[in-house]
Structure 1
């Protein structure tokens, strides 16, 4: 707001108020007397601008954003621990039950067994907070000797771990709840309830989908992918464990069905013209990361369709790409429509050139 009030502007304004018959050149007595004051006033404008930004939710950050939202009963989400599925085998590849509380390691991250799912299958909780627990798959090593154990594998993400909510994420969630007030089991209420469950990254509500009193809650996880079976069960138990009874958050009479979003894979193929600065593998890795980020950004948005021109622009923005030809999305050269209850996720990426 006060960007125009710079040191030089303030100093010149002060000098303009001094009569012209007084020496006002740099190094003169009056110049040297006014310059420090102009500098201090400029600093005050900077501080005033920061103070104003700190009192509005659209611009506030860190503890100031927390202070603004607290009177509305809102709080920033802290980080959570990933819950993963582990598969264990013994001699001859037979399922092997490991002790509850046993610990395993993969790529520097430790996981502890906390619940048996089935023979040789267990829930494991990451000991490190945040999204790092979602990332590794494959062979784990036991931290303590377990007699009879032959192999241990870390598989599905049951409940994604989350980093502490960023300013941008918290601001968007707060503004959504303020602008769409929840009351008496309206759509905003169901969205609010679903988002209160750890691991949920987006919600769509479909009212009256199967007749009067029915509500479908479609969810994605914090990675903006279809929610796991465990997440679906958690949200169902929180909102409506028994249809129509009002035992959960939903009101009496509501029949609530919680489902994971339908996955729509976006397969990209293109021939690129490289500028010679980077290898094809480097370009592909960066493009895949940018594509994943873009698809996550439009998931469950007002227009979740995947735009052909946007994907082309993302490809052109990758360092090392000079041009491209024959770009196709799912075998076509047009937009990919994403319907209600579906989410676009990166599929195969084939780049040549």
Structure 2
């Protein structure tokens, strides 16, 4: 039988019983007497000891450990917590007259994020030129999509407009949390390295900060080839990474993959799935938002990148042919808090996806 830590109340009763058994004629249930508080103090100390032992036991296993103890489990496998990282990218200056950017110039976005120029550049008249920049602070909040307007804080002379270049400012990430690190540790334990097996590509890609999901397609362009899709759910809309992140993951993978592998790294193509719900009861804003949250969670849990690889139950990370079941959509709506009934008007059937595609929530309508 599994050990169950006694509750504090149960321990107090046990101590009272012990006093009665060992001191005939005493009764720790009667107040006032000094045995009653003594029983409580002893029981409280034992309860704290049990709590400490329970906590220490949890740190022995990667599935339960936390903080520095989880880091120790990672260390034993050659893994480490992904550190926070700054975002890098390019700023495009569209000048209307002769303009210059000094090395170290600072730019700011409306969000409050600031960027520093890594080198200087200048133009003698109207035109455009680019400057490489790095975020002033580490973290995912500094990532910016192409076209984001910027303002010059210092180091810019001339006239014109400033904006993030089309490739965006990418690569910024927060310190890896316990749950992400735990998932990588458990995946590594369950999938020992095999010199280029599909699970190895998942593990390698997950070493890149910001990556949350990875799907592998073997033989996508013939013998010796592999295509890796990845998502960054905590950073970008629908988890779809921009080209700058794709290049960053490719650069990392090329340092660890077998020399003979023909590698392709790609971002999945997001395909919006429009959902229409009729006859919702109760029809309230809270229920509608709960339905939206459940649909997003369902897609995060069930959706994979569709591909040409074979389906294997032991390898759910393979990019194999994927069909989104209509029943999953209806079930997600039913699981929303306080939902009593509904009729799923759309989609009207299961939805199949082409290689490289992944479903994301589109328009959610209520009629």
Select the residue among 210, 217, 231 that pairs with 1:206.
217
Select the residue among 185, 198, 211 that pairs with 1:187.
198
In the aligned structure 2, how far is the partner of 1:318 from the partner of 1:6? 34
Select the residue among 259, 274, 293 that pairs with 2:266.
259
Which secondary structure state, in structure 1, belongs to the residue aligned with residue 83 of structure 2?
coil
For normalisation by structure 1, the TM-score amounts to 0.77
Report the equivalent of 2:250: 236
In the aligned structure 2, how far is the partner of 1:291 from the partner of 1:202? 18
The 1:145–1:215 alpha-carbon spacing in structure 2 relative to 1, beyond 3 Å, is closer
The 1:275–1:80 alpha-carbon spacing in structure 2 relative to 1, beyond 3 Å, is same
For 1:92-241, list aligned pairs within 5 A. Answer: 98-106=101-109, 107-114=111-118, 119-134=128-143, 138-144=148-154, 146-154=156-164, 156-222=167-233, 223=235, 225-240=239-254
Which secondary structure state, in structure 2, belongs to the residue aligned with residue 11 of structure 1?
helix
1:61 corresponds to 2:70: no
Which secondary structure state, in structure 2, belongs to the residue aligned with residue 32 of structure 1?
helix
In the aligned structure 1, how far is the partner of 2:259 from the partner of 2:148? 45
The 1:221–1:83 alpha-carbon spacing in structure 2 relative to 1, beyond 3 Å, is farther
Q: CA RMSD in A?
A: 3.8
* Contact residue 167 and residue 243 of structure 2 kept, 8 A: no
For normalisation by structure 2, the TM-score amounts to 0.74
In the aligned structure 1, how far is the partner of 2:150 from the partner of 2:128? 18
* Contact residue 273 and residue 323 of structure 1 kept, 8 A: yes
For 1:197-346, list aligned pairs within 5 A. Answer: 197-222=208-233, 223=235, 225-240=239-254, 248-270=255-277, 291-292=295-296, 295-298=299-302, 300=304, 302=316, 308=326, 311=329, 325=343, 327-328=345-346, 332-337=347-352, 341-346=356-361
In the aligned structure 1, how far is the partner of 2:201 from the partner of 2:270? 22
* Contact residue 80 and residue 129 of structure 1 kept, 8 A: yes
* Contact residue 292 and residue 364 of structure 2 kept, 8 A: no
Number of residue pairs the alignment of both structures matches: 336
